[in-house]
Structure 1
Amino acid sequence: MAVIVAAEDDADVADLLATTLSRAGHVVHMAGTGPRALQMVAETHPDLVILDHGMPGMSGLDVARRLRADDTTAGMPMMMLTAFAPDGARDVFDQVLHKPIPFRQIADVARNLLATTGLRKLTTGRPLNDPERLAAVARLLDEPDPVDELALAMEIANLAEATGAQSAAVGLVLDSTLQVVASVGLPDLIIEAGGVPIEWTPCGVLAGNDRPVLFDDLTRDPIFRDLPLVSLSDVRSYAGVPMHSPEGLVVASMVVMAPEPMRFSGRTLEILTAAVPRIMKLIDRRR
């Protein structure tokens, strides 16, 4: 069994592809656009990526080139499935298949490609739906002590001030939801809901890759510019760090945000990282 991310904007083709690969025993995550495919790769750590070329927002070749340029995904097996292969596709993809093609043949090529690469994992984190990681998060879902809750709120407010951020938050990263634990400056909608879908924020990428993220301007990023968080909060600058359980699993994220571009720097990440032990200690008392 392998984890496969496939990007295809034709709904009928996407359904057939997902069905064929699932019946072959694989876990399949379908994306309808190039930016969504990049986000899924970061969140799920696939063993194989299959890309159409002509997709809205970002072509399959552009997605593949971006993955090849990142050290964590540079060696990831990739297949192009397209009616028209652009120049340079064979220099980037391990396999280029042309539509129309029997879907059974696609599954066979995928099997052979996976066998060649040995289902190697190329990123350092774990998928968001990893059972061990989710169990570690679940242990932190109890109600906090009121004193700890106040201390945590003060820590987050101090972080916002120290980094020059308009808003700051720490949240538990579930498989499909970011549950806000403490925050300052977030929209009332998010506060009242207690969190947001993981797809609304870059936190899934942060947790999936298990490394800090820093964006000078989310509105210029092809993956994140259309996120509801950006439109609801007018967020442009964004910086965040992962937070770990005692076992070393990513269970939470801590982020700061601002409406101005280029607000944060590497120094911001240093401030956040230094605060992690204090804040994680307060969260960990929920067990």
Structure 2
Amino acid sequence: MLNVTKAVFPVAGLGTRFLPATKASPKEMLPIVDKPLIQYAVEEAIAAGITEMIFVTGRSKRAIEDHFDKSYEIEAELEARGKEKLLSLVRSIKPSHVDCFYVRQAEALGLGHAVLCAEKLVGDSPFAVVLADDLLDGRPPVLRQMIDVFDHYHTSVLGVEEIAPDESKSYGVIDGKQWEEDIFKLSGIVEKPAPADAPSRFGVVGRYVLKPRIFKHLRALRPGSGGELQLTDAIQSLLADEQVLAYRYSGTRFDCGSKLGYLKATVEFALRHPEVSSDFSEYLASRMPELQI
């Protein structure tokens, strides 16, 4: 059995659509209540059985390495002061059974190029690709759902959701036929088509479980606009060699690359946070009369 134990986190691109990345604050370090986006993504991967986190970073992403580095001094001080709760929180950032690896993408040349940068670390293993901008809230975690599909069919799996027709220009849109409930067999995939040209109403979100053959197709790609290599194009090419499935996941997606998606995620996660949920709920309730239209 091919176990999925590796995940690639492409974090070398530019900032969100509303806040550019800087050395001090790369987009993946934007907090949702009290944890950065990248922490939510890694926790989802850990819950799915992933033990090797591969970060494809750039010059502005040192903060991510620092975040997952072991804080010897802080842990020693908390332990000496008997702050067990805080000590447990610090150690939970990267559990001891999880390893983090980093590879630099010298230029932001597309998602496909970022994934290709991780080839030597991935090797001949199946692996996940996780885009931290897409905060997915599912029970069980969405990546766990997708790996279960991979384990059953032993084929690459793309996470998809139903989108409005006018949103097609923001997604890779799948073509294919339904195979089982929530599972589609791909015959094609189109990157950001116009609504009239979209082959379906299912768009790919930031979760993939891929077999290593994808690297062969990434290496064979010709750069497109801006010299970029698109993962979508490599998946389209992969279809000539093997079956690829799309899975309509169970859960809610927050597009934290947009202002509205980021704000929605902050509100939703604050309302369930044990320390602030009650006070925050009261605050929102006090604002409701002013918000009535």
Highest RCO, 1 vs 2 (Cα 8 Å, sep ≥ 6): 2
| TM-score by shorter chain over 0.5 | no
TM-score norm. by structure 2 comes to 0.28
